[in-house]
Chain A
Amino acid sequence: MKLKLATVALGALMAAAPAMADLVVPNLSYRTGPYGANGTQYADGFNDYFTLLNERDGGIGGEKVQTPECETAYNTEEGVECYEATKGSGALVYNPLSTGITYQLIPKVSADKIPLYTPGYGRTSAKNGKVFEWVFNAPANYWDGASVAVKYLLDQNGGSLEGKKIALIYHNSAYGKEPIRTLQELSRKHGFSLTELPVDPPGQEQKSQWLQIRRDKPDYVLMWGWGVMNQTAIQEAANIRFPMENFIGIWWSGSEVDVKPVGASANGYKALTFHGVGTGYPIYEDMKKFVIEPGKASQGGQFVGSVLYSRGMYAAVVIAEAIRKAQELSGTSNITAAQLRDGFEALEITPERLSELGLPDFGPEIRMTCDNHGGSGMARLQQWDASAGKWTLISDFTQPDQEVLDPLILEDSEAYAKEAGISPRC
């Protein structure tokens, strides 16, 4: 009885949902739960860029963009619920900011033919567009990140890591385990030794891992962390007086929320990134004029310019450019999800284009094709300046070691193709 009543009530609600005619880019965000502090900033950046386009240019190609938000709490089941709830509204592309939800959605978007854009997270081997027709992960993936970090260390050591000790401290989950295979390959190639230190999520207790680091004295520590694990790790590193400049985090371990709780002792901590940070870009003048000052900023514009905000905005920039490309290719402004996929596959974001957008040198050059859904994989390093309270970029965009990565990507994607019965295209 109860069920039926609720069903009726719910049916009434569902029916009353507004019909959507514009371009729909659902924002599967999470502003609650263990990772809510991180997810909030990303979602704000994502929303604000589309708001800017709507307010300043009247949308993309004359079509307004809607970003209906759906809260996933970083939970795979709620992610599926959000996906199902929004896909009927003509959703063009998904960006769930969760490796777990991405794995969940890969088979679903392939069946429903909707692109999935996972910049810097998700399934690494989705770079192989031959197998993953609907998934895009440009500009960089976890394996690129691992390789760029090692390359940076090579640079620091005059081209050789022979005999060096590197420790990897990682979130004990699908996400944290991703780089292990690459780092093992790289350690064979460059002759450094690799110690793996898993931390069970959420990761508030890392004393034994850091005592081990203190005892083994590795030359460098790499980190794949998320949420509270980041702050705790940086705090513990400061506690054992591990030299911060030898401690490098992946891009998900390098935002303000990770270093600020630690205070001054976090100074010098490094992290990878694939985009710029701060409000020093020309686009923020428009952002201020059209979005922030009229009070249209997502959630009050508290985090404008932060690392994760910039990343959310960057994801929105890439999606917007892909939409533009798709409109150009198909000759219609009201594109479909399948047309957007073609747009992604023909997407080129040159440095000139970025400058035009008001974001000079913000991200690497992106060029995607039918078989390359991951772009160049270039990333750079940033360093935390605790006294100024901001991140500064310390290296240029660096190419990852494709020689090592390509075979790994091929192997993993082929294994998936076999498991899922996909015959490669292109």
Chain B
Amino acid sequence: MLYREAGDFKTSYRDDGQTFPIRLDRWGYYAILAVAFLVVPLVIDSYWANAVLVPFLIYAIAAIGLNILTGYAGQVSLGTGGFMAVGAYAVYKLMIALPAVPIIIHILLAGAITAVVGVLFGLPSLRIKGFYLAVATLAAQFFLVWLFNKVPWFYNYSASGQINAPERTILGWAVTGPATTASAKYLICLVFAVVLAWVARNLTRGSVGRKWMAIRDMDIAAEIIGVNPLTAKLSAFAVSSFFVGIAGALLFAVYLGAAEATEAFGINKSFLVLFMIIIGGLGSIFGSFAGAAFLVLLPVFLKNLLVVQLGWPTDLAAHLELMIVGALIVFFLIVEPHGLARLWQLAKEKLRLWPFPH
């Protein structure tokens, strides 16, 4: 009763083709957007921004990117950390080299540069498949991180190889650098997340997305019915890397403010983002958000619970946290291998009948 998919009649093709064709979905979406844009920036403080919301939004972008590649096009990648590093270093070099250009353009360009690098490392996917490809993408991970660590040009010859984000503004508001307010950080990430999610949603339900899914389900069969695996796979790598690059640029410029390739963009990052999409749900934009929220919130939540509430020693808490997160991942995979997105779908189905279950 509460959630209805029926009775929502469309009278034009335009209506039928909109991003959220079901009215309730659309309203919910507008409501969330309104809260996110109008309410949250007013109440947000720097703890909530820096510990929860900003990382959540940034990882959501990265997760959407990886989901396009892994969830929609079926190419497992463990190179996310490396591609994020490309975005971060690209945006750093652009910010330093062209201070007059608006930061938004820099971030988009950083995404584009990452897309090119992604295509380069995506080329072997035409020959290599499955786990072999997953491990092969680790080559990108290790090589890129090494490169940024080793070539002084990338970090402007600083003594330690660290990069620092200088202050840049949008309409007079600082969005990078130490003077940035919590709400400015949050808003710029939110804008990117919303726009990119919208792009991803529309890409994946169009012909490009269908080609990706055909490749995912069986690439030989897809080739036979006329999908070009070269363009389909490489476009997936390009789009995915674009998203991941933007996430990396935001992570460095807006969130961290300073970064070092080996530390901030290591292999753990690749695994973290992969977990987000597995827990959230492969092949689902909503799932990318849900997975990112889950894995950003859970450690913060556990830490607060064990250390602040129960007063346990921090190391014990950290070890238990590892165990709990690990066990939860296994638990989730056993109970619902299709992730939180699937749970959400089931909930909607329940809501459709509620309160009369039969």
Contacts and interface: CB of A to CB of B under 8 A. Distances in A.
Contacts of B167: 420-421
Nearest to B51: A81
B293 A3 contact: yes
B59 to A, nearest CB: 10
B159 A200 contact: no
B178 A111 contact: yes
Given A103-B164, A107-B257, A13 B47 contact: no
B344 A1 contact: yes
Given A13-B304, A13-B308, A84-B47, A104 B313 contact: no
A419 B164 contact: yes
Contacts of B166: 419-421
Interface in A103-137: 103-104, 106-108, 110-111, 123-125
B159 A77 contact: no
Nearest to A198: B150
B340 A2 contact: yes
A14 interface: yes
A412 B164 contact: no
A403 to B, nearest CB: 18
Given A13-B301, A77-B264, A103 B50 contact: no
Interface stretch (A53-61, A168-176, A283-291): A168-176
B318 A172 contact: no
Interface in B285-319: 289-290, 293-294, 297, 300-301, 303-305, 307-309, 313-315, 317-319
A24 to B, nearest CB: 14
B334 interface: no
Nearest to B45: A88
Contacts of A416: 164
B258 interface: yes
A211 interface: no
Contacts of A75: 263
Given A100-B263, A178-B159, A6 B257 contact: no
A217 B294 CA distance: 54
Contacts of A70: 303, 307, 314
A99 interface: yes
A99 B51 CA distance: 20
Interface string A6-18: 1101100110110
Contacts of B264: 76-77, 100
Nearest to A299: B313
Contacts of A421: 166-167
B160 A73 contact: no
Q: What interface size band does chain B fall in?
A: 35 or more
A111 B344 contact: no
A139 to B, nearest CB: 20
What interface size band does chain A fall in? 35 or more
Nearest to A32: B318
A71 B315 contact: yes
B82 interface: no
B97 interface: no
Interface in A81-99: 81, 84-85, 87-88, 99
- Most interface-central of B255, B315, B317, B340 (chain A CB within 10 A): B315
B6 interface: no
A353 interface: no
B115 to A, nearest CB: 25
A173 B297 contact: no
Contact of A172 (B262, B305, B308, B317): B262
A17 B178 contact: no
Interface in A362-387: none
Max chain A Cβ within 10 angstroms of own Cβ: one of B46, B322, B344: B46
Given A85-B47, A100-B260, A107-B164, A173 B315 contact: no
Contacts of B319: 32
A383 B30 CA distance: 67
Contact of A174 (B146, B160, B307, B314): B160
Nearest to A106: B258
Contact of A415 (B158, B260, B300): B158
B260 A10 contact: no
A82 to B, nearest CB: 9
Nearest to B164: A419
Nearest to B317: A71
Nearest to B160: A174
Given A6-B297, A106-B258, A107-B257, A177 B160 contact: yes
A69 B303 CA distance: 11
A231 interface: no
Given A10-B297, A173-B161, A88 B47 contact: yes
B177 interface: yes
Contact of B159 (A76, A107, A111, A177): A177
Contact of A181 (B159, B293, B304, B307): B159
Interface string B145-171: 010010000000011111010110000
A182 to B, nearest CB: 9
Given A107-B164, A173-B149, A200-B146, A31 B262 contact: no
A18 B46 CA distance: 19
A70 B308 CA distance: 10
B256 interface: yes
A304 to B, nearest CB: 17
Contact of A201 (B158, B262, B315): B262
Contacts of B51: 80-81, 84-85
Nearest to A124: B159
Contacts of A9: 301
A383 to B, nearest CB: 29
Contacts of A124: 159
Given A76-B256, A173-B263, A3 B290 contact: yes
Contacts of B164: 103, 107, 416, 419-420
Contacts of A299: 313, 315
A104 B256 contact: yes
The 8 closest A-B pairs by CB, nearest first: A31-B315, A107-B178, A111-B178, A174-B160, A71-B314, A32-B318, A84-B50, A3-B293
23 contacts: A2-B294, A2-B340, A3-B297, A10-B52, A10-B300, A10-B301, A16-B308, A32-B319, A36-B315, A70-B303, A71-B317, A73-B318, A76-B260, A77-B264, A85-B51, A103-B162, A107-B178, A111-B179, A173-B260, A174-B260, A178-B160, A416-B164, A419-B166
Interface of B: 45-47, 50-52, 55, 146, 149, 158-162, 164, 166-167, 177-179, 255-260, 262-264, 289-290, 293-294, 297, 300-301, 303-305, 307-309, 313-315, 317-319, 322, 340, 344, 347
Given A100-B162, A107-B164, 19 more contacts: A1-B344, A2-B290, A2-B293, A13-B301, A13-B305, A17-B304, A31-B318, A69-B307, A71-B303, A71-B315, A77-B55, A84-B46, A107-B258, A124-B159, A172-B149, A177-B160, A299-B315, A412-B159, A420-B177
